[in-house]
Every structure is written in C-alpha cells, then in structure tokens.
Structure 1
Amino acid sequence: MSRVFINYRTGDEEASATLIDRELSHRFGSEEVFRASKSIRPGDDFEQELLRAVRRSDLLLAVIGPGWSDATGRRGGRALDDPDDWTRREIAEAFAYGVRVIPVLVNNRQRLPKGDLPDDVARLENCQYLRLSHRNADADIERLVQKVAEAVPRLADRGTEAVSGRPASAAGGTTRNSVRDLHGSSRQGGDIIDHRSGGTGDVGNNYGTVIGTAGGPLHTGSGTQVNGPQFNGSGGQYVAGDNHGDVHQGAPQRTERRAPRRRGEGGT
C-alpha cells in the first residue's frame, strides 16, 4: 500500500511531481509513493487503481503550478469545473476518505484564492501548503521530506534517513530480499558489520570469515606457506630491505677433533 499519493495536472509541473516522487522514493522506498505514470501497470484499470490508491493513502500531495487552476478541460472550459477532471476527482476522493491533503505550490504560484474551487475540493483553499522553488530546490525538498515523515509517522519508523538525507539501505536497516526453498535461518551479507583491527575470525554465529588488516601474505588453505626465498643446507644468507654496512658471509668454521692421547705415548 502506497502511503503518499502524488496528485498533479498533466501540462502543469509534471517535472516537479517526478522530482518529488524520486526524492520520496529514495528516502522511503518506491512502493511507498504512488504516481500514476509510474505505479499503474499497463493493462490495469486506471480508474480503479487511481481511486483505490487515494483511499489507501495516508497523505496526498497536490502539486500546483501556474497553470493548474486555468487549464482547459477535454470538453472545453476550465478543467476544474468538469466533475470528471481526474486532478479534481483524486483530491475530492482524498477529502471524502479523510486523507490528509497538502498543496505543494511550485515556484511563484500563489495560494488558491477563496471561492475559486468547486465545492467538493473547496477545502483545498484552506490547507496549509508547502513550497517548492527550483531556485531553492535542495532546501525545499528536504523540508518537504521532513513534513511528509511528520505527517506519516509509519514512514519515519523505517529509520532516521528521512531527516538525515540517507537512503533507507544506508541506515543500517535490514535489506529486503527474497529467498526460496530455504530450511533454517538466512542473513543478508549487508546486514552484518564486524570491525576487527587485525587477524581473522568468524562473523557473528559462523556466518562467514572476516579478514582484518593482515600485515603480510595470508594463507587460508592447507599445506605449507613459504614467504620469500627458501634455503636448504648450509652457507645460505638472505638479506631483505636496506643494508647500511658490511655483510660478512662465510662457511661455518670446522673444528677438528683429535682422539685423546694414551698414557706413555709421546708427542710434540
């Protein structure tokens, strides 16, 4: 169920509606944000999908630009005066089902004048609005995200990313995934964080091996590991690194051992 419904008029600030959708989806997840051209699948009954999405939402954002009020309808005349105008119908449905409605005024759009709207959407004139200026887009989008999180606390429950500017996956939460035919427990690799200053060890309950800061070659298999040259026998010398001074190398001195003299034997 999408918690935020983005309402906009074709021909009036579709780009702003797309920007809002992108930012909210980045913070809360795409499935939490409904925008008709994104959320309705080809072949679906768009009328049923639109009205169902409005009724199930917690919040409707009405994106209102300079051409929103005076746009011409399919039958001629002002679109807002046509009961079948979808922008009007979505807002009216939200009011009828108790869904909070927040107007988002884009750029230099002024707030809606009193008495200008049909009765079923007239409450929109009194709704406190947010503003989105393309010259101040970063700050305005951040404020909009915060206000959406305040209006829909269940979105904020997904983590602090709504106010910190971090995407949901970066906040240390559980990564969504699907595992089939699994017997036993499953852990997502991205959910396991283990910091070690050195050495090797297991990551929480034997979910794998972590290698810290190894100071040299590391052997993880079986058998003998030899780092550097290997010398067998005598007389070998290996010098690594810088050498300042002399290196003396010689064969080991051999001491001759004599048999002890017997009593009575002479010698020189």
Structure 2
Amino acid sequence: MPDANAIFISYRRSDSSDVSGRIYDRLVAHFGLAAVFKDVHSIPYGTDFPDYIQQELVKCSVLLAVIGPTWLTVEKDGQRRLDNADDWVRIEIQTALENDAITVIPLLVGEMERLTEAQLPEPLKPLARLNSALARSDPDFHQDMTRLTRRLEKILESKSTPASSRTSEKSFSLAQKLELDDLNQQLALLSQQHQACAEEARLTSDPDRKVVLAEKVKRLLQQISAIDGRINAIQNCSKG
C-alpha cells in the first residue's frame, strides 16, 4: 500500500470542486483512504489549516494540480488569486515544485487546455513545462482515470522502493490486455448511456418517466462500479 497521504490533490473549490470530488473517490477506491489527501476530507476538525497543509505537503510523493476552466482567472478583491503570494493553491503548487522529491502532475479538467508560461506567475512557470494528464467528462472520464491511476502506481512504486531492490514490473498477459480493452469499451458505452439518461431525467416533466430513468441511472452506476472493480482487480493481479 502507498504511504499515508502519498497523493495530494490541489484544487480550487470555485473552479473544480465537483470533479475533484469524483477524482478523489476514484483514487481512494484504488489506493485506499489513507493514501489520498484532499482538504475537505483529510483535515481534522479544529486543526490549524495553513500549518496542517504545509505538514502534509512535505509527506506527499505526488501532487495533482487539478486545473479547470476558471483556475487561471479566479479573482478576489479585484486581484487574480494566482498573483497573490498568499493564495493557498499557489502556495501548494509552488511548495511542491520546489521539492525535488515530489512529482507534480497538472490534471486538466472541463476541457481546459494546456497552460503556457505567460499565463502563470514566476514561481509557477515550471508547471507549464510539465506533461499534463486529463480527466475529461463522460464518456472519457473512466478511461482517463485508468491511465492516471496506472501512472501514479509507477510513480509511487519507484518512490517507495529503493532502486537496488526493485524488481521488474510484471506485464499484463495477452488475455488480461484483451479483457482490459473490452472493459474500457464497456465503460465508455455505459458512461454514454448514463450521461444520456441523467440528462433526459433532468429535462423531462413526466414524473413516471423520471422514476423509470432514475432506476436506469442507478443500474448503470452499479454496472460502472462493477467494471471499475474488475479493472482494479486485473491491475492488482498483474503486480504478482
């Protein structure tokens, strides 16, 4: 299992609160509750917020910088938040960038495009040079998170195991690869169906139809959860 708070999720609530919660749930399901830090879920009541954040940052192996459509432009008191040296999102990312032991991954959500150095204050400019991960909307979300999870596994394994004692990672068998491909295709299809049903349920004014659609959405979510579980089981099995 990864170390406690090995993955630190940095996000701006006004920009990406909902999808950050979904990302957190997916990572917790795979790595365990203790391995993932997200302020709302991870800070004990009555704790000094700034001190606790700083303490946990130095413990993490990976910082995921969740960046959505308004991440660059959110203002407070007429000033862009990123330009404020006391802004906590800026402090989190800057602290991680300055620590060679922490891998920083920009995670683009909500059709956000890759950052440029010109958009960022000086201490955050290195963020624009880092290869970004994606967490797009359905039907791509599950496949994007599967790719991110695999990358995180490799990073955490390399940081937790001394180089002299690492063993080569066991590769997927042909049967496992074929099953994973099939499962990801099923996920994409089910996600499309879920999105369509949820949207129809939101728009319809027929109460009976709403009930039918609500039941269908529930079944689809159960199927999606089951497939996620199977994907995780294959990935864990492949490690030997």
TM-score band (shorter)? 0.5 to 0.7
CA distance, structure 2, for counterparts of residue 5 and residue 139 of structure 1:
21
Aligned to 1:25: 28
Amino acid at match of 1:147: R
* Contact 1:107-1:131 within 8 A present in 2 as well: no
Any unmatched runs of 5+ in structure 2? 162-168, 171-227
Separation (CA, whole Å) in 2 of partners of 1:154 and 1:29? 18
> Unpaired runs of 5+ in structure 1?
172-268
- The answer to whether the Cα contact below 8 Å between 1:145 and 1:162 also exists between their aligned partners in 2 is no
Is 1:84 matched with 2:151?
no
1:136-190 deviation line (CA, Å, top 9, x unaligned): 1111111111111112116998x9999941399x97xxxxxxxxxxxxxxxxxxx
* Mapped pair 1:34 → 2:37: yes
Q: Which residue of 2 aligns with 1:208?
A: none
For the residue of structure 1 that corresponds to 2:8, the secondary structure is strand
Cα offset, 1:7, TM superposition: 0.3
Distance 1:14 1:58 in 2: 22
**Paired residues of 2:8 and 2:57 also in contact (CA < 8 A):** yes
**Shift of the alpha carbon at 1:107?**
2.8
CA distance in 1, matches of 2:72, 2:40: 21
Deviation at 1:47, TM superposition (A): 0.6
- Match 1:130 to one of 99, 121, 133: 133
Q: Which residue of 1 aligns with 2:202?
A: none
For residues 5-51 of structure 1, the C-alpha deviation after alignment (integer angstroms, 9 at most, x for no partner) is 00001201111111111111111111000000100011011111111
Letter in 1 for 2:79: G
Counterpart CA distance in 2 for 1:167 and 1:79 is: 42
Larger radius of gyration: 1
Q: What residue in structure 1 maps to residue 10 of structure 2?
A: 7
Cα distance change, pair 51–18 in 1 and its aligned pair in 2 (3 A): same
1:110 aligned to 109, 113, 126, which one? 113
Give the number of the structure whose residues are more often helix, by fraction.
2
Which residue does the alignment assign to 2:150? 146
Where does structure 1 differ by over 2 angstroms across 4 or more consecutive aligned residues?
154-157, 159-164
Whether the aligned pair in 2 keeps the contact of 1:8 and 1:64 (CA below 8 Å) is yes
Distance across 2 between alignment mates of 1:155 and 1:124: 21
Q: Which amino acid aligns with 2:113?
A: Q
Deviation by residue 1:185-229 (Cα, 9 ceiling, x = unmatched): xxxxxxxxxxxxxxxxxxxxxxxxxxxxxxxxxxxxxxxxxxxxx
Q: Which has the higher contact order (CA 8 A, sep 6+)?
A: 2
1:108 to partner: Cα distance? 1.3
Residues 83 and 89 in structure 1, CA contact (< 8 A), matched pair in contact too: yes
Report the TM-score, using the length of structure 2 for normalisation: 0.64
Cα separation, 1, equivalents of 2:233 and 2:18: 23
Distance 2:38 2:5 in 1: 9
Question: What one-letter code is carried by the residue in structure 2 that aligns with 1:54?
Answer: L
Distance 2:110 2:86 in 1: 28
Give the direction of change, closer, same or farther, for the CA distance of 1:83–1:162 in structure 2 (3 Å limit).
farther
**Distance across 1 between alignment mates of 2:229 and 2:57:** 22
> Could you tell which deviates more after superposition, 60-69 or 129-138?
129-138
2:137 and 2:234 map into 1 onto residues whose CA distance is 22
